[in-house]
Amino acid sequence: MTALRFGKSHIYEKMAALQIVLEKPVIAATYYIRSFRLSEISKPDAFNYATSVLATNNYAAESDATKLLYYADQKHKGIKEYLEKQRKKLLQAPQFNEDLEYKDDRRKNSKAKISIIVSLYNAANKLEFFLKHLQRQSMVCNGTAEIILVDSGSPTNEREVFLKLIDSLKIEVIYVRTKSRETIQKAWNRGIQLAQGEYLTFLGVDEGITPEALEILSAELDSDSSTDWIQSNSLMTDVSKNGTWLNDVMIFERSNFHPFHIYLETCYISWVGALYRKSIHDRFGYYDDTFRAAGDTEFKNRMGPFVKMKTLPITLGIFFNYPEERATHSPTAELEDLRAWYLFRTPEGMEYALQGRDQSFVEQSLLFCLKYRKSYCSHWSTDIELAWSVVKYIEKHFPTSKLSVLKNNIFSLREAFQGYDNEAFTSAENMLTKRRAFNKARKNLENLLNNLGFNKASEFHYSNDNRYEQHHSFW
């Protein structure tokens, strides 16, 4: 009987083949890599096609990450060494040539406490609203917060808007423009080197903070010298083209933060409504400016083992969701997440991410994999792939941990997920067999967790695991 191939890994293979016909090779490669991730099988022809396409389409680093993650004969080997090499490389402060088109420094106070770094590109139509909104900041008003505007060779007239407003705003500000377009992480690195403040925050022109935000956030850092990064909740709002509030959309709720959340969700720690010590760059490195879309995720994951992050149960950050037509989406962020996020989530990646953590921290991290809530969701989620990486770490480093007994059950549930995604169903009976195997695996894990005293363990379902909640939409 002909197999009915409707597992997700097979669907992605079909989507990849369709994109090849449509002459969209990068999207085809993206679908193939999703298939590798769900099935843990990389078919030689598909693997060679995907890595070759990435290498020849300005995604060479992503091609290398794909090889580290999914090359059949050497899967995951060398990941810890790769991550450590990147960390050491990025310890060096970036060097910039005199490649500015112009520099306009209006700062009079050389003792600003906070530097607000803003990257500008195609931002002219939002810049006036953004600057007037930021002017309401109490620390901007009294001159203890400076604004650093980095115009990355933008094709729109940001400088004209700036010059029209600057005299009336009376703010501490510097405006620089590069001769050519640069990545946002390179613009941020420029801003860091121009910053005079002890603390840094980063905003886009479609983002904002409440008037008292910087005072509250800086007071937290002042009161606890061991905390490096302080993060509040953020509100997403719909606004008109002029920035007028229309309605609230959703809140990013982060009050139950644990440092391991950065490996479970890419935006639990963010930059909007956040503040961190400038000194972490001297101690632990700068942004990787080879990223175009996922450099913020990579930075958090690289910093994770070394910095202390904390959240506040209040909302200080704002996203302004403008009604403009969106630019065509591309898979760039998803592809860059291969090296920004997925490398860290492997068993070898956990050797990097969990270094220096004690047994209690690592055990709590495993339990979060089995039940956690994303900052933007109200339901419970699971992450069986990451749980597998963490439980292997526990087995190796803390063999007497009572959670070591979860390894076989986590492996069985992981295999059951892959069975759904990778197996071809030849009959209704075969399909039911896979369903029964999945139900047995999840019930066994739930029962074992209950026996260990975790009677509020999450129920494991096909739809609430991170393998389906992250990078699942069709391009």
pLDDT at 321 over 70: yes
Report the pLDDT value the prediction gives residue 424, as an integer from 0 to 100: 59
Burial of residue 246 (number of CB atoms within 10 Å: 0-12, 13-18, 19+): exposed
Among residues 358, 61, 318, 325, the alpha carbon closest in space to that of 183 is found at 61
Give CATH for domain 100-326: 3.90.550.10
Report the pLDDT value the prediction gives residue 268, as an integer from 0 to 100: 94
Q: How far apart are the C-alpha atoms of 277 and 272, rounded to whole Å?
A: 15
Report the pLDDT value the prediction gives residue 255, as an integer from 0 to 100: 87
Mean pLDDT for 261-267 is: 95
pLDDT at 5 over 60: no
Mean pLDDT for 164-172 is: 93
Burial of residue 148 (number of CB atoms within 10 Å: 0-12, 13-18, 19+): buried
pLDDT at 291 over 70: yes
Q: How far apart are the C-alpha atoms of 156 and 20, rounded to whole Å?
A: 35
For 183-225, the pLDDT digits (tens) are 999 999 999 999 999 999 999 999 999 999 999 999 999 999 9
For 65-90, the pLDDT digits (tens) are 999 999 976 667 899 999 999 999 99
Q: How confident is the model at residue 40 (pLDDT cuts 50, 70, 90)?
A: confident
Structure tokens at 472: 């699942």
Report the pLDDT value the prediction gives residue 463, as an integer from 0 to 100: 85
